[in-house]
Amino acid sequence: MTTYKALKGKKVKFFTSDPPAAVAEGQVWYNSGDKEYKASVIVEAWAAGGNINTNRSSMGGTKQGTENAALVFGGHTNPAMMTQTESYNGTSWTEVNDLPTGKQLSGGAGTTAAALAFGGSKPPPPPLEHNTTEEWDGTNWTAGGNMNEAKYMHNSNAGTATAALAFGGPGGNNTEEYNGSSWSEQNNMSAGKSDMCGFGTQTAAVGHGGTSPNFAHAESEEYDGTSWSTTNSMNQVNRRQGGGGSQTAGLAFGGLIASANVTNKAEYYNGTSWSVAPTLGTGRYYVGNSGATQGACMLVAGLTTGSATSYTVASEEFTQAATLKTITDS
């Protein structure tokens, strides 16, 4: 909406000075002082954030955080399972108190002030999967209620520290809800998938992508607090992604689109269908990520090639912001 042609059919307001961009979002007006037609448009982009202190992949993260308030924990740096927890303030990462046990591919929920780490995998000897839950109070980790099924799920989770949702995992389609003290089993997904991603809340979540034993997926499912239903598929098959936002305004980013084909692509979800979003600066997978809303997501670390040791310490932040544009005749 930055050309005169865009004015056709629009109601144009008259102002003596420009209103704030956020207030005027979606409006077109004539500034009688500048003698110019103007509009407020949304600018969407990824930008570099602060580097994490320890490179790693496969860490858990606070799905209800923001691009400038995130927590990541655990993960993998060959060959070790990690206990380290780091907190982000929008500029830099700070090491805080560790998890009691090293784990990778754990689920995560909540915020920097109240978070959960649940499930995950651990080194031999068997069993190789956790059913434990740790609760973060902004300072320390303490034990929470155990999951009914031990599994690792990485990003296939959603919700808060007192209302979390976990779903999928290797060979499984089961769903569990956490109420702040215990987990309860809920209705299953339509298909068992691992390497999925999810976002939203305990009563309004989206699960997308992933793999089953024979192939990668582009399918998506929505959870309404009781049951899952199939929705429109993503534009490309994907697994090991990051994601954030809500059931009606979500964002999926990065991942693997083939056995070792890393992507920097991102997609929006509007509650019905998927569409192209701005690309990441660097393609990666097995990331830590945060984002309660579509316009305030971030990802950190992960792997940048098909190699299991292609770690990065870099983070990226996604924002959507209104800005003022002068309408031209071109």
Confidence of residue 33 (pLDDT cuts 50, 70, 90): confident
Confidence of residue 26 (pLDDT cuts 50, 70, 90): low
pLDDT tens for each residue of 212-268: 876 788 999 999 999 999 999 999 999 999 999 999 999 999 999 877 799 999 999
**pLDDT for the residue numbered 67:** 93
Same domain for 256 and 169, yes or no, is yes
Same domain for 11 and 94, yes or no, is no
Contact present, 181 and 188 (Cβ < 8 Å) = no
Same domain for 282 and 141, yes or no, is yes
How many other β-carbons are positioned within 10 Å of the β-carbon of residue 305?
A: 14
Round the average pLDDT of the chain to a whole number and report it: 90
Contact present, 208 and 222 (Cβ < 8 Å) = no
DSSP 290: E
* CATH number of the domain bearing residue 160: 2.120.10.80
Mode of pairing for the β-strands spanning 28-31 and 12-15: parallel
Residue span of the structural domain in which 9 resides: 4-44+321-326
Same domain for 95 and 123, yes or no, is yes
**pLDDT for the residue numbered 3:** 56
pLDDT tens for each residue of 173-225: 899 999 999 999 999 998 888 899 999 999 999 999 998 876 788 999 999 99
Confidence of residue 330 (pLDDT cuts 50, 70, 90): very low
Contact present, 101 and 117 (Cβ < 8 Å) = no
Indicate if the pLDDT at residue 37 is higher than 90: no
- More confident site: 194 or 99: 99
Q: How many domains does the chain have?
A: 2
Same domain for 158 and 207, yes or no, is yes
Instruction: Among 34-43, 75-84, 159-168, name the most confident range.
Output: 159-168
Indicate if the pLDDT at residue 1 is higher than 50: no
**pLDDT for the residue numbered 4:** 52
Q: What angle do CA 281, 282, 284 make, to 5 degrees?
A: 140
Indicate if the pLDDT at residue 15 is higher than 90: no
In percent, the amount of the chain with pLDDT more than 70 equals 93
CA distance 209 to 252: 10
**pLDDT for the residue numbered 249:** 96
Same domain for 242 and 281, yes or no, is yes
7-21, 42-56, 121-135: range with lowest mean pLDDT: 7-21
Q: Which pTM was predicted?
A: 0.88
Same domain for 114 and 238, yes or no, is yes
Is 266 buried (19+), middle (13-18) or exposed (0-12) by CB count in 10 A? Answer: buried
